[in-house]
Amino acid sequence: MPHRARSAPVRSGRKWRLRYFLLGFLFLLLGYYSIDYYWREKRWRWIIVHHTAGDRGNMEYYRELHQKERGWPDIAYHFLINNGSYNTMPGQIEVSDTWQNRSHHYSTKKTSLNYFGIAVALVGNFSRYPIPGLQKEALVELLARLALDHGVAVENIIGHREVWTTECPGSRVDMQEIRNLVRERLGQDRSL
């Protein structure tokens, strides 16, 4: 009896199209989530420090002020470091919805900084007095954490006045000293 060669099984074109479709869909989904992750977590290039120029307030107060007076959807900052007014603790850090959603902010008049910068504000007027100890400690700790978590170079931690004609974050705030304290903090504790 002659020996017949076995032929490869015939694959249904329909089944293979479904597999390729599912693989393609999976790659698209992974690509979307990769881009979304990068945009939310890795786009940051700057941290901009501000002051509110007012001695009282908290996140709710400034959110309402910015929404009513400026027409913005939320507070202009990602983080607010309190001074103890409005039932807050000195140095208490409040996180805005703008940060939770990783949205751009409205803290500068430079669009690129608003999209690629993290906005941190201190409650107080630091043209009249220096930053109190607990607020300054909280600021340095937050800046170090943000720089480490989001790959922002310490040199890119700037005061608002370093990119725009303004006194913000106050004439009594030495941004070079703040950057040095952040460098020191990052050097002290790699467990941040």
- Mind listing the pLDDT tens digit for each residue in 64-106? 999 999 888 888 899 999 999 999 999 999 999 888 887 777 7
pLDDT tens digits for range 165-190: 999 999 999 999 999 999 999 997 65
Place of tokens 């805005």: 96
pLDDT tens digits for range 108-142: 677 777 788 999 999 999 999 999 999 999 999 99
Residue 154 lies in a domain: yes
Q: Domain check: are 77 and 103 in the same one?
A: yes
CA 12, CA 33: separation in Å to the nearest integer?
Answer: 32
Average pLDDT of the chain to the nearest whole number: 85
Q: Domain check: are 31 and 90 in the same one?
A: no
Q: Domain check: are 27 and 82 in the same one?
A: no
Sheet architecture: strand order including 90-95: 90-95, 79-83, 117-122, 46-51, 157-159
CATH number at residue 95: 3.40.80.10
Q: Which residues span the domain enclosing 30?
A: 12-42
Q: What are the two backbone dihedrals, phi and then psi, of residue 90, each rounded to the nearest 5 degrees?
A: -60, 130
Q: Domain check: are 47 and 26 in the same one?
A: no
Residue 113 lies in a domain: yes
CA 178, CA 138: separation in Å to the nearest integer?
Answer: 11
Compute the C-alpha angle 122/79/125, nearest 5°. Answer: 15
Exposure on the CB side of residue 108, measured as CA atoms within 13 A: 29
Q: How far is CA 188 from the centre of its chain?
A: 23
pLDDT tens digits for range 4-55: 666 555 555 677 777 777 777 777 766 666 665 555 666 789 999 999 999 9
Q: Domain check: are 55 and 117 in the same one?
A: yes
Residue 71 lies in a domain: yes
What predicted TM-score, i.e. pTM, was given to this entire model? 0.77
